[in-house]
C-alpha cells in the first residue's frame, strides 16, 4: 500500500539516481529496481517513512552500481535545460555544484529539485531537522562562494 504518488516519485527518484550515476539508462534501471524492491517488502507505511525507504534503497543501489562501473560526467545525450536564456546560468551553477561535496550536492537536490521535506531528509540521513537546515544553509553558502569565484553569482 504505497502512501505516495508513484508517477511523481518515479521522476524524483530517477533524478536522484541520474545525478548520482550520470547515466540516463542506468539511472532509469536503478529507479525501477528501487520501486520493485520497495513493493517487495514495504506496506503499511506513512508517507515520510515510505520516502525515507525509497531514497535509502535508491542510494544503496546507486552506490553498488557506482562501485561496479565508475560513471563519468553527465550524459552526452542530455539536452540540458529547456529555456535558452537560462543555459548560461545553469552551466555556471552546474560547474559550481560539481565543486561541492557529494553530500552538499545531494542535500540541495533533495530539498530544492525534489521538494523533499526537511523532516524526511532528516530521516534519510538520521539527523534532526535543525541539523538538516544547517547543512542546507552551509551548502547554499558554499555554492554561492563558488559562483562568486566564477563571477556568475551576480547574473543570478
Partner 1 sequence: MNRFEDEIKAAFEAPKPKRKEEFINLIKPSKMSVGRFLLSQMGYIRKSTWIVFALILICIILAPFVLDYATLWFISALMPILAMSLVTESARSERYNMAEMEAATRFSLRSVIMARMAILGGINLIAILIAAPIGIKYCSFNSFSSGLFVVTPFFITSSIGLSIVRKIKGQAGFYAVMAETFVVSMLMLLNKNSALGIVPPESVRLWSIVTVVAIVATIKQGIGMINNLEDITWSW
Residue closer to partner 1 by CB (options 130, 149) is 130
Of 102, 105, 135, give the one whose Cα is nearest residue 118.
Answer: 135
Residue closer to partner 1 by CB (options 63, 87) is 87
Residue closer to partner 1 by CB (options 50, 69) is 50
Of 7, 10, 12, give the one whose Cα is nearest residue 32.
Answer: 10
Smallest gap from residue 82 Cβ to partner 1 (A): 8
For residues 122 and 128, give the distance between their C-alpha atoms in angstroms, rounded to a whole number.
5
Smallest gap from residue 68 Cβ to partner 1 (A): 21
Smallest gap from residue 92 Cβ to partner 1 (A): 9
Query: What is the SS3 string spanning 131-142?
Result: HHHHHHHHHHHH
Residue closer to partner 1 by CB (options 47, 64) is 47
Burial class (CB in 10 A: 0-12, 13-18, 19+), 129: middle
- Residue holding cell 544503496? 60
How far separated are the first and last CA of the chain, in Å rounded? 43
Smallest gap from residue 55 Cβ to partner 1 (A): 15
Which residues are near partner 1 by CB under 8 A? 1-2, 6-7, 10-11, 14-15, 18-19, 24-25, 27-28, 31-32, 35-36, 39-46, 49, 53, 75, 77-83, 86, 89-90, 93-94, 97, 108-109, 112-113, 119, 123, 128-130, 140, 143-144, 156
Amino acid at each position: 500500500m504505497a502512501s505516495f504518488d508513484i508517477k511523481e516519485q518515479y521522476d524524483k527518484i530517477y533524478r536522484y539516481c541520474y545525478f548520482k550515476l550520470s547515466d540516463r539508462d542506468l539511472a532509469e534501471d536503478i529507479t525501477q529496481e528501487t520501486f520493485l524492491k520497495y513493493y517487495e517488502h514495504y506496506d503499511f507505511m506513512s508517507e515520510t517513512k515510505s520516502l525515507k525507504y525509497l531514497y535509502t534503497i535508491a542510494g544503496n543501489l546507486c552506490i553498488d552500481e557506482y562501485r561496479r562501473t565508475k560513471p563519468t560526467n553527465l550524459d552526452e545525450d542530455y539536452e540540458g535545460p529547456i529555456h535558452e536564456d537560462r543555459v548560461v546560468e545553469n552551466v555556471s551553477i552546474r560547474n559550481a555544484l560539481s565543486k561541492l561535496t557529494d553530500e552538499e550536492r545531494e542535500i540541495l537536490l533533495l530539498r530544492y529539485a525534489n521538494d523533499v521535506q526537511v523532516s524526511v531528509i532528516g530521516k534519510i540521513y538520521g539527523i534532526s531537522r535543525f541539523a538538516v537546515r544547517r547543512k542546507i544553509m552551509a551548502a547554499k553558502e558554499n555554492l554561492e562562494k563558488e559562483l562568486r569565484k566564477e563571477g556568475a553569482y551576480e547574473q543570478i
